[in-house]
A and B are shown apart, each in its own frame.
Chain A
Amino acid sequence: AQSVTQLGSHVSVSEGALVLLRCNYSSSVPPYLFWYVQYPNQGLQLLLKYTTGATLVKGINGFEAEFKKSETSFHLTKPSAHMSDAAEYFCAVIPKDSNYQLIWGAGTKLIIKP
Protein backbone atom coordinates (compact mmCIF):
# COMPACT_ATOMS: atom_id res chain seq x y z
CA ALA A 1 0.00 0.00 0.00
CA GLN A 2 1.04 3.54 -0.68
CA SER A 3 2.68 5.36 2.21
CA VAL A 4 4.09 8.80 2.90
CA THR A 5 7.11 9.40 5.10
CA GLN A 6 7.99 12.74 6.61
CA LEU A 7 11.45 12.66 8.11
CA GLY A 8 11.52 14.35 11.49
CA SER A 9 8.48 14.94 13.67
CA HIS A 10 10.06 18.24 14.75
CA VAL A 11 12.39 20.52 12.79
CA SER A 12 13.96 23.57 14.40
CA VAL A 13 15.53 26.40 12.41
CA SER A 14 16.64 29.91 13.22
CA GLU A 15 14.72 32.88 11.91
CA GLY A 16 16.14 33.78 8.51
CA ALA A 17 17.58 30.32 7.90
CA LEU A 18 16.62 27.86 5.19
CA VAL A 19 13.62 25.66 5.87
CA LEU A 20 13.72 22.11 4.53
CA LEU A 21 10.95 19.65 5.32
CA ARG A 22 11.28 16.22 3.81
CA CYS A 23 8.61 14.04 2.25
CA ASN A 24 9.01 10.71 0.47
CA TYR A 25 6.33 8.53 -1.06
CA SER A 26 6.47 4.82 -1.62
CA SER A 27 4.86 4.07 -4.99
CA SER A 28 6.66 3.39 -8.28
CA VAL A 29 4.02 5.41 -10.11
CA PRO A 30 4.35 9.04 -9.04
CA PRO A 31 1.19 10.18 -7.28
CA TYR A 32 -0.43 13.58 -7.04
CA LEU A 33 1.46 15.43 -4.29
CA PHE A 34 0.39 18.04 -1.75
CA TRP A 35 1.75 20.05 1.15
CA TYR A 36 -0.55 21.46 3.82
CA VAL A 37 0.09 23.75 6.78
CA GLN A 38 -1.78 23.70 10.08
CA TYR A 39 -1.56 26.46 12.65
CA PRO A 40 -2.53 25.62 16.25
CA ASN A 41 -6.21 24.82 16.70
CA GLN A 42 -7.00 25.49 13.07
CA GLY A 43 -7.81 23.47 10.01
CA LEU A 44 -5.33 22.56 7.30
CA GLN A 45 -4.54 24.95 4.49
CA LEU A 46 -3.16 23.91 1.13
CA LEU A 47 0.36 25.29 0.59
CA LEU A 48 1.07 23.85 -2.84
CA LYS A 49 0.50 20.87 -5.05
CA TYR A 50 2.07 18.96 -7.89
CA THR A 51 -0.10 17.23 -10.46
CA THR A 52 1.71 17.53 -13.80
CA GLY A 53 4.15 19.82 -15.57
CA ALA A 54 7.03 21.74 -14.02
CA THR A 55 8.58 19.82 -11.16
CA LEU A 56 9.37 22.91 -9.09
CA VAL A 57 6.14 24.17 -7.62
CA LYS A 58 5.67 27.49 -5.88
CA GLY A 59 3.08 27.95 -3.19
CA ILE A 60 1.82 30.49 -0.72
CA ASN A 61 3.90 32.23 1.95
CA GLY A 62 7.14 31.85 -0.04
CA PHE A 63 7.25 28.06 0.09
CA GLU A 64 8.16 25.85 -2.81
CA ALA A 65 8.62 22.13 -3.37
CA GLU A 66 10.38 20.07 -5.98
CA PHE A 67 9.13 16.75 -7.27
CA LYS A 68 12.01 14.35 -7.86
CA LYS A 69 10.84 11.12 -9.43
CA SER A 70 14.20 9.38 -9.10
CA GLU A 71 14.19 10.03 -5.37
CA THR A 72 10.43 9.58 -4.87
CA SER A 73 10.53 12.84 -2.97
CA PHE A 74 8.62 16.09 -2.67
CA HIS A 75 10.58 18.17 -0.17
CA LEU A 76 9.27 21.55 0.97
CA THR A 77 11.63 24.51 1.21
CA LYS A 78 11.65 28.19 2.04
CA PRO A 79 14.82 30.29 1.68
CA SER A 80 14.35 32.36 4.82
CA ALA A 81 12.26 31.30 7.80
CA HIS A 82 9.95 33.74 9.51
CA MET A 83 8.49 33.45 12.98
CA SER A 84 5.04 33.20 11.43
CA ASP A 85 6.07 29.95 9.69
CA ALA A 86 5.92 28.08 12.98
CA ALA A 87 3.24 25.46 12.39
CA GLU A 88 2.77 21.81 11.55
CA TYR A 89 3.27 20.75 7.96
CA PHE A 90 1.71 17.71 6.34
CA CYS A 91 2.67 16.00 3.11
CA ALA A 92 -0.06 14.04 1.35
CA VAL A 93 -0.49 12.04 -1.86
CA ILE A 94 -3.27 10.67 -4.00
CA PRO A 95 -2.20 7.62 -5.99
CA LYS A 96 -2.82 7.94 -9.71
CA ASP A 97 -3.83 4.32 -10.03
CA SER A 98 -6.72 4.42 -7.59
CA ASN A 99 -9.84 6.37 -6.80
CA TYR A 100 -8.88 6.67 -3.18
CA GLN A 101 -8.50 9.86 -1.28
CA LEU A 102 -5.53 11.56 0.33
CA ILE A 103 -2.89 9.50 2.09
CA TRP A 104 -1.15 11.54 4.77
CA GLY A 105 2.28 11.76 6.26
CA ALA A 106 2.57 11.99 10.03
CA GLY A 107 3.38 15.69 9.97
CA THR A 108 6.42 17.79 10.88
CA LYS A 109 6.24 20.50 13.46
CA LEU A 110 8.37 23.47 12.39
CA ILE A 111 9.91 25.46 15.25
CA ILE A 112 11.44 28.85 14.54
CA LYS A 113 14.14 30.08 16.91
CA PRO A 114 14.54 33.86 17.26
Chain B
Amino acid sequence: SQTIHQWPATLVQPVGSPLSLECTVEGTSNPNLYWYRQAAGRGLQLLFYSIGIGQISSEVPQNLSASRPQDRQFILSSKKLLLSDSGFYLCAWSRGTGRESGAFFGQGTRLTVV
Protein backbone atom coordinates (compact mmCIF):
# COMPACT_ATOMS: atom_id res chain seq x y z
CA SER B 1 0.00 0.00 0.00
CA GLN B 2 1.00 3.58 -0.48
CA THR B 3 2.01 5.87 2.35
CA ILE B 4 3.07 9.47 2.56
CA HIS B 5 5.36 10.84 5.24
CA GLN B 6 5.72 14.48 6.06
CA TRP B 7 7.90 16.00 8.74
CA PRO B 8 8.27 17.68 11.09
CA ALA B 9 4.76 17.84 12.54
CA THR B 10 5.34 21.21 14.18
CA LEU B 11 7.98 23.86 13.72
CA VAL B 12 8.63 27.23 15.30
CA GLN B 13 11.11 29.36 13.41
CA PRO B 14 12.29 32.96 13.77
CA VAL B 15 11.73 35.49 11.05
CA GLY B 16 14.59 35.45 8.57
CA SER B 17 15.58 31.85 9.23
CA PRO B 18 15.62 29.18 6.51
CA LEU B 19 13.03 26.45 6.09
CA SER B 20 13.09 22.91 4.81
CA LEU B 21 10.06 20.62 4.93
CA GLU B 22 10.34 17.17 3.52
CA CYS B 23 7.77 14.79 2.12
CA THR B 24 8.27 11.27 0.86
CA VAL B 25 5.89 8.80 -0.71
CA GLU B 26 6.23 5.04 -0.54
CA GLY B 27 4.60 2.26 -2.50
CA THR B 28 4.08 4.00 -5.81
CA SER B 29 6.19 5.38 -8.63
CA ASN B 30 6.07 8.61 -10.61
CA PRO B 31 3.39 10.23 -8.47
CA ASN B 32 2.23 13.78 -8.95
CA LEU B 33 3.28 15.69 -5.84
CA TYR B 34 1.79 18.78 -4.26
CA TRP B 35 2.46 21.33 -1.53
CA TYR B 36 -0.54 23.13 -0.07
CA ARG B 37 -0.85 25.76 2.62
CA GLN B 38 -3.74 26.47 4.94
CA ALA B 39 -3.66 29.83 6.68
CA ALA B 40 -5.75 30.16 9.83
CA GLY B 41 -9.45 30.08 8.97
CA ARG B 42 -8.83 29.78 5.25
CA GLY B 43 -9.06 27.02 2.71
CA LEU B 44 -6.40 25.14 0.80
CA GLN B 45 -3.97 27.09 -1.33
CA LEU B 46 -1.91 25.13 -3.83
CA LEU B 47 1.69 26.32 -3.67
CA PHE B 48 3.57 23.92 -5.95
CA TYR B 49 3.00 20.76 -7.90
CA SER B 50 5.34 18.40 -9.68
CA ILE B 51 4.72 15.80 -12.36
CA GLY B 52 8.27 14.44 -12.34
CA ILE B 53 11.83 14.78 -11.06
CA GLY B 54 13.02 18.34 -11.42
CA GLN B 55 9.67 19.50 -12.82
CA ILE B 56 8.10 22.06 -10.52
CA SER B 57 5.20 24.38 -11.19
CA SER B 58 4.50 27.31 -8.92
CA GLU B 59 0.96 28.46 -8.45
CA VAL B 60 1.52 31.69 -6.60
CA PRO B 61 4.44 34.10 -6.27
CA GLN B 62 5.87 33.81 -2.81
CA ASN B 63 8.81 33.49 -0.52
CA LEU B 64 8.96 29.73 -0.92
CA SER B 65 10.45 27.26 -3.38
CA ALA B 66 10.10 23.55 -3.99
CA SER B 67 12.36 20.84 -5.30
CA ARG B 68 11.97 17.21 -6.30
CA PRO B 69 15.39 15.62 -6.17
CA GLN B 70 14.03 12.06 -6.33
CA ASP B 71 10.89 10.50 -7.76
CA ARG B 72 9.12 10.21 -4.42
CA GLN B 73 10.65 13.11 -2.52
CA PHE B 74 9.31 16.64 -2.44
CA ILE B 75 10.92 19.44 -0.46
CA LEU B 76 9.55 22.85 0.43
CA SER B 77 12.13 25.51 1.23
CA SER B 78 12.66 29.13 2.06
CA LYS B 79 15.87 31.08 2.42
CA LYS B 80 14.34 33.67 4.79
CA LEU B 81 11.00 33.13 6.48
CA LEU B 82 8.44 35.89 6.84
CA LEU B 83 5.72 36.16 9.48
CA SER B 84 3.18 35.63 6.71
CA ASP B 85 4.66 32.20 5.99
CA SER B 86 3.02 30.84 9.15
CA GLY B 87 0.40 28.23 8.46
CA PHE B 88 -0.37 24.57 8.08
CA TYR B 89 1.55 22.96 5.22
CA LEU B 90 0.29 19.83 3.57
CA CYS B 91 2.04 17.53 1.15
CA ALA B 92 -0.03 15.33 -1.12
CA TRP B 93 0.36 12.89 -3.98
CA SER B 94 -1.87 11.54 -6.72
CA ARG B 95 -1.76 9.05 -9.54
CA GLY B 96 -1.63 11.32 -12.54
CA THR B 97 -3.99 14.25 -12.05
CA GLY B 98 -5.92 12.29 -9.45
CA ARG B 99 -9.05 11.97 -11.59
CA GLU B 100 -9.85 8.44 -10.56
CA SER B 101 -8.68 8.34 -6.97
CA GLY B 102 -8.15 11.91 -5.79
CA ALA B 103 -5.12 13.02 -3.84
CA PHE B 104 -3.64 11.52 -0.69
CA PHE B 105 -2.37 13.78 2.05
CA GLY B 106 0.34 13.74 4.66
CA GLN B 107 -0.37 14.68 8.24
CA GLY B 108 0.78 18.25 7.78
CA THR B 109 3.34 20.57 9.35
CA ARG B 110 2.25 23.41 11.60
CA LEU B 111 4.74 26.23 10.96
CA THR B 112 4.80 29.22 13.26
CA VAL B 113 7.14 32.05 12.34
CA VAL B 114 7.93 34.27 15.31
Interface residues of A (CB under 8 A from B): 32, 34, 36, 41-46, 49, 51, 90, 92, 94, 96, 99-102, 104-107
Q: Is the CB of B46 within 8 A of A101?
A: yes
Residues on A with C-beta less than 8 A from B105 are 36, 43-45
Given A96-B99, A101-B98, 6 more pairs with CB closer than 8 A: A34-B102, A41-B108, A90-B43, A101-B97, A102-B103, A106-B43
A44 CA to B104 CA, complexed, in Å = 8
A104 CA to B46 CA, complexed, in Å = 9
B87 at the interface (CB under 8 A from A): no
What are the 7 tightest A-B residue pairs by CB atom distance, in nearest-first order? A43-B105, A106-B43, A44-B105, A104-B44, A34-B102, A43-B107, A32-B99
A36 CA to B104 CA, complexed, in Å = 10
Q: Is the CB of B101 within 8 A of A44?
A: no
Q: Is the CB of A101 within 8 A of B102?
A: no
Q: B72-114: which have CB < 8 Å to A?
A: 88, 90, 92, 94, 97-108, 110
Q: Is the CB of A51 within 8 A of B100?
A: yes
CB closest residue in chain A, given B46: A101
Q: Is the CB of A102 within 8 A of B102?
A: yes
Q: A42-B107, A42-B108, A101-B49 are in contact. Are A107 and B98 (CB under 8 A)?
A: no
A44 CA to B101 CA, complexed, in Å = 14
A32 CA to B97 CA, complexed, in Å = 11
A42 CA to B88 CA, complexed, in Å = 9
Q: Is the CB of B94 within 8 A of A101?
A: yes
Q: How far is the CB of A33 from chain B (nearest CB, A)?
A: 10
- Determine which of B43, B49, B88, B101 lies in contact with A105 in the assembled complex, contact meaning CB atoms within 8 Å: B43
Residues on B with C-beta less than 8 A from A101 are 32, 34, 46, 49, 94, 97-98, 103
Q: How far is the CB of B22 from chain A (nearest CB, A)?
A: 15
A32 CA to B101 CA, complexed, in Å = 10
Residues on A with C-beta less than 8 A from B49 are 101
- Determine which of A49, A99, A106, A107 lies in contact with B102 in the assembled complex, contact meaning CB atoms within 8 Å: A49
Q: Is the CB of A99 within 8 A of B97?
A: yes
Q: Is the CB of A43 within 8 A of B43?
A: no
